Structures are given as C-alpha cells and as structure tokens.
C-alpha cells in the first residue's frame, strides 16, 4: 500500500478515545430512532415494512414484543440487517458529521512507489482511512519487502491496470472497475502494468 510505515499513515486518522459503556437497548426507542433518522412518519415506515401502522406504533411504545417475522419486515423496510435492530449507536445521538474533499484538495504524499491523496482528513477518530493512489511502481523489486498493517483493506481500480501481489495468493491483474477486499495483515503490494500509472481508491479500516 505504501512504503511509509503503515502505522504512521493510519495514525493520521486515529486518536485515542474512551469507550463508552454500553447501555441496555430499548428496542422501541431504537426503531423510532431509525425511523426518524430517515424522516419517515409512522405510516411511511409501516408501509415500507409491510406492517400495520398500529403495530409499529405499539412496537415503538413498548406495548408489543414483535415476532421474528415482524423484526425481519422491520429490518427490510429500514434497509438494515436484523442484528442492527439490536445494536445501539455508540453515542446517544447521530452526530451527522461529514467531510467533503473536492478533486485536487486531498493532502498529497509522494513515495518512491506510490503517490497518495489523503481524503476526509478533517474528520478525527474515523473508522476508515480513504485515499486515492497513483501507482508508480512497475516491479516488486521496488519494494522493501511486504507491506503489512492492522485492519482490512478495500482496493478499487479507477484507471489503468495493476497487478496485486499478496502473501498467500497468486498475483492477480486488475483493470478499471475491478476491486479486491483483503486482510491487511497479509503482506501485499501493488504495481502498475499499464503504460500509464494506474490510479486506485484505497480504503483501510482503522481497527
């Protein structure tokens, strides 16, 4: 991914923070929160889930324990998985934060093998580190061994063609529109195989 120390790249977006102790989940309040986050009325949410409005109202007010079938309908209607209905948010409310990075505004970092444009830098304590990379390397000989770091990684080819080398798999050529998701603790490197430097979107998890 980079011939900088991967941990130093990840440190850009990671700050220490205290973990809040989990609170017992109020399913009705959770469903209401998910509905209001979508700016839906009771009737709109009930129609989305295929439930009666009165049924949804009783669930939200703790007057009814929904069956598993009703939970599945709720999850489908809210476009989430059933387990997410029982996963309270890590904070008391949605923080609604967002970062916009326009073309050419990402912080530029140049190495011998890659050029990075770091994206969404203004957000701290991110769960993901996104960046656009221009692949300058043409051979594995240009790397000082494998790159490895914590977390998982998603790679999407934007332009050109690359060859993805990984520690436990045969090298694979990828062209525009191809993607790969892999364990970042597994050794990995990328080289361009097109006439021009390929460009890719990389997203690294920070956990």
Mean pLDDT by 10 residues, the chain (207 residues): 43 41 68 87 91 92 86 86 71 66 84 89 82 96 91 96 97 98 95 97 88
Rounded Cα distance, 64 and 56, in Å: 9
Beta strands in 43-196 (DSSP E): 107-110, 114-118, 128-135, 152-159, 161-166, 169-175, 179-183, 188-192
d(CA 76, CA 50): 9
pLDDT of amino acid 69: 85
d(CA 57, CA 46): 9
How many C-beta atoms lie closer than 10 Å to residue 14's C-beta? 15
Residue 204: what pLDDT?
A: 93
Chain centre to alpha carbon of residue 190 = 21
CB 153 within 8 A of CB 203: yes
Q: How many angstroms separate the CA atoms of 207 and 129, rounded?
A: 11
Q: Is the pTM of this model over 0.75?
A: no
């Amino acid at each position: 991914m980079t011939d900088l120390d991967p941990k130093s790249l990840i440190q850009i977006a990671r700050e220490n923070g205290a973990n809040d102790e989990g609170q017992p989940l109020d399913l009705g309040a959770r469903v209401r929160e998910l509905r209001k986050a979508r700016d839906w009325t009771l009737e709109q949410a009930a129609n989305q889930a295929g439930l009666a409005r009165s049924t949804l109202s009783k669930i939200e007010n703790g007057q009814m324990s929904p069956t598993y079938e009703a939970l599945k309908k709720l999850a489908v209607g809210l476009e989430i998985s059933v387990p997410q209905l029982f996963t309270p948010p890590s904070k008391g409310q949605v923080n609604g934060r967002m970062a916009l990075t326009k073309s050419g505004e990402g912080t530029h970092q140049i190495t011998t093998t890659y050029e990075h444009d770091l994206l969404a830098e203004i957000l701290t304590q991110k769960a993901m580190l996104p960046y656009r990379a221009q692949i300058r390397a043409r051979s594995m000989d240009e790397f000082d061994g494998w790159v490895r770091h914590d977390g998982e990684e998603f790679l999407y080819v934007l332009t050109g063609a690359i060859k993805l080398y990984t520690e436990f798999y045969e090298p694979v050529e990828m062209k525009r529109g191809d993607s790969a998701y892999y364990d970042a603790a597994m050794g990995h490197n990328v080289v361009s195989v097109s006439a021009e430097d390929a460009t890719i979107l990389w997203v690294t998890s920070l956990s």
